[in-house]
């Protein structure tokens, strides 16, 4: 409920981004995990609370300098009370169950301009004795920040974006519906990357079960117990990435010419299939429906006991789609000749996925894209990265 309010208020956001445990409830701005020294010279943790006024939806400047506290009375390192902040003893219980024990008063000249200054001023006074006894007793603990399902698709706050101040760029991705067709190594890495973006829905299509060799070309570390259960790939990934976010949908089925309509409602599609005939049909279907997509693929083979090969991402968007025939394989190699291999290595799947996600984010205007290339390739033995098929 409160993290969106905090996002909108620069002083509160600054507190949170510096690692303080800030929430808003029961009519108070609340900072938890405040270390202090009690009269027995023990380190304890209390809660600072400040009332606030709201105008419209906007939290106003602090109306006074009084701070409330839940905990024993804070003392100096020698156990004597910190007299300079003393105001009054209270015995109030908030609806959430938090008990307010004291109010403090320590007024700078001109009062407090914002809540950041107000909290930091009291935190300095209260926490300094605790820190002098134990330098691990710090108030900005960088605890995980829980958020509710109604305010975010993530299970805890995306403090990475918040601290970097790139939320307005993130907004270019929200509300999107993404499909990943094929959850092999590359598709799984694509999921790994886009699960950390704020897209609304990620739909996974794959009818395979999770097998031993998948574990060595996929993100994370799959346990033996999980492999023994032979879960469907999409169900396994749904469970894993639901630790981080909501909005993941598992479809334990292969995309074929019979059900390709399933892809007609997406903002962007990642094609990560091994079947070239279906791959090509999907590409043609998406192109004719004006749905932007990226098709990925890699090829690795060995020569003189070393590996070499290339990675490819072929992207299609409404402004460039006439190049697909030159890049997207359309037939499956029937005869197993000496050149057909199925060597896949995790870092190559990961790199292929990374290039595909970069292409999508460039298409969305998340990253600057001066050339608007729709074909990316990378060859291993000369580290040759080629951008091509520019939008015309």
Partner 1 sequence: MFVLKAGNNETILTSERYENRSGAINGIKSVQENSQILSRFENRTGEGEQPHYFVLKAKNGKIIGVSENYPNTQNRDVGVNSVHENGCTTRIKDKIKGEEITCLEIIVNGREEEWDKNTMSFEELITLAFNNSGQNTIRCHTVTYSDGPKSNPQGSMVVGGMVNVKPKMIFNVTATDKS
Residues forming the site for partner 1 (CB under 8 A): 182, 184-187, 272-274, 276, 279, 296-301, 303-304, 306, 308-312, 326-331, 333, 335, 337, 339-340, 342-344, 349, 352, 375, 377, 379-382, 384, 386, 388
Closest contact distance (angstroms) between CB of 263 and partner 1 is 17
- Cα–Cα distance for residue pair 272/311, rounded to 1 Å: 12
Closest contact distance (angstroms) between CB of 357 and partner 1 is 14
In DSSP notation, 238-297 reads HHHHTTTBS-EEEE-S---TTTGGGGGG-SEEEE--S-HHHHHHHHHHHHHTT--EEEEE
Closest contact distance (angstroms) between CB of 321 and partner 1 is 15
Decide if 355 contacts 376 (C-beta within 8 A): yes
Instruction: Between 32 and 327, name the residue whose CB sits nearer to partner 1.
Output: 327
Instruction: Between 35 and 297, name the residue whose CB sits nearer to partner 1.
Output: 297
Closest contact distance (angstroms) between CB of 334 and partner 1 is 9
Closest contact distance (angstroms) between CB of 209 and partner 1 is 17
Instruction: Between 19 and 329, name the residue whose CB sits nearer to partner 1.
Output: 329
Closest contact distance (angstroms) between CB of 273 and partner 1 is 7
Closest contact distance (angstroms) between CB of 63 and partner 1 is 59
Q: Which residues contact 202 (CB under 8 A, 6 or more apart)?
A: 178, 179, 180, 191, 194, 195, 241, 247, 248, 249
Q: Looking at the DSSP assignment, which residues form a beta bridge with residue 31?
A: 22, 48
Instruction: Between 68 and 279, name the residue whose CB sits nearer to partner 1.
Output: 279
**What are the distances in angstroms from CA 20 to CA 32, 58, 134, 138, 139?**
8, 21, 18, 10, 6
Instruction: Between 231 and 388, name the residue whose CB sits nearer to partner 1.
Output: 388
Closest contact distance (angstroms) between CB of 374 and partner 1 is 12
- Cα–Cα distance for residue pair 216/208, rounded to 1 Å: 16
Instruction: Between 35 and 299, name the residue whose CB sits nearer to partner 1.
Output: 299
Instruction: Between 126 and 350, name the residue whose CB sits nearer to partner 1.
Output: 350
Closest contact distance (angstroms) between CB of 345 and partner 1 is 11
Q: Do strands 43-51 and 373-379 pair parallel, antiparallel, or not at all (unpaired)?
A: unpaired
**What are the distances in angstroms from CA 328 to CA 124, 294, 312, 314, 354?**
62, 10, 9, 7, 18
Local structure of 43: helix, strand or coil:
strand
Instruction: Between 74 and 184, name the residue whose CB sits nearer to partner 1.
Output: 184
- What are all long-range contacts of 336-339, with beta carbons under 8 Å and residues at least 24 apart? 339/301
Instruction: Between 114 and 281, name the residue whose CB sits nearer to partner 1.
Output: 281
Record the tokens describing residue 347, joined without a space.
């870092």
Backbone angles phi, psi at 373, to 5 degrees: -75, 145
Taking residue 187's Cβ as centre, other Cβ atoms within 10 Å add up to 28
The enclosing H or E element of 348 equals helix 346-363
**What are the distances in angstroms from CA 108 to CA 5, 68, 195?**
27, 17, 46
């Amino acid at each position: 409920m409160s993290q969106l309010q905090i996002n909108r208020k620069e002083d509160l956001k600054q507190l949170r981004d510096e690692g303080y445990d800030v929430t808003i409830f029961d009519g108070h701005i609340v900072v938890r995990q405040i270390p202090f020294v009690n009269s027995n010279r023990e380190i304890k943790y209390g809660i600072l609370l400040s009332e606030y006024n709201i105008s419209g939806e906007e939290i106003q400047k602090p109306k006074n300098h009084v701070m409330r506290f839940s905990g024993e009375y804070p003392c100096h390192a020698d156990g004597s009370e910190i007299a300079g902040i003393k105001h009054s003893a209270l015995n109030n219980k908030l609806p959430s169950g938090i008990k307010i024990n004291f109010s403090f008063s320590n007024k700078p000249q001109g009062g407090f301009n914002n809540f950041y200054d107000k909290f930091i001023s009291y935190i300095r006074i209260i926490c300094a004795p605790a820190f002098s006894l134990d330098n691990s007793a710090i108030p900005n603990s960088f605890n995980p920040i829980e958020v509710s399902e109604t305010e975010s698709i993530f299970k805890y706050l995306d403090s990475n974006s918040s601290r970097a101040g790139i939320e307005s760029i993130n907004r270019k991705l929200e509300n999107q519906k993404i499909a990943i067709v094929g959850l092999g190594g590359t598709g799984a890495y694509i999921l790994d990357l886009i699960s950390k973006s704020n897209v609304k829905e990620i739909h996974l299509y794959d009818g395979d079960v999770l097998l031993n060799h998948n574990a060595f070309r996929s993100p994370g570390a799959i346990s033996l117990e999980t492999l023994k259960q032979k879960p469907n790939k999409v169900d396994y990934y749904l469970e894993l990435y639901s630790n981080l976010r909501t909005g993941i949908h598992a479809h334990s089925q292969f995309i074929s010419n019979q059900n390709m309509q399933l892809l007609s409602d997406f903002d962007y599609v990642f094609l990560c299939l091994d079947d070239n005939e279906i791959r090509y049909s999907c590409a043609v279907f998406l192109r004719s429906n004006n749905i932007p997509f990226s098709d990925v693929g890699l090829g690795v083979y060995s020569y003189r006991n070393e590996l070499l090969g290339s990675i490819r991402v072929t992207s299609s968007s409404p402004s460039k789609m006439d190049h697909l025939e030159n890049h997207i394989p359309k037939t499956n190699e029937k005869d197993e000749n000496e050149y057909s291999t199925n060597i896949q290595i995790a870092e190559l799947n990961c790199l292929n996925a990374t290039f595909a996600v970069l292409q999508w984010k460039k298409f969305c205007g998340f990253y600057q894209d001066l050339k608007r290339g729709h074909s990316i390739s990378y060859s291993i033995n000369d580290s040759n990265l080629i951008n091509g098929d520019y939008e015309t």
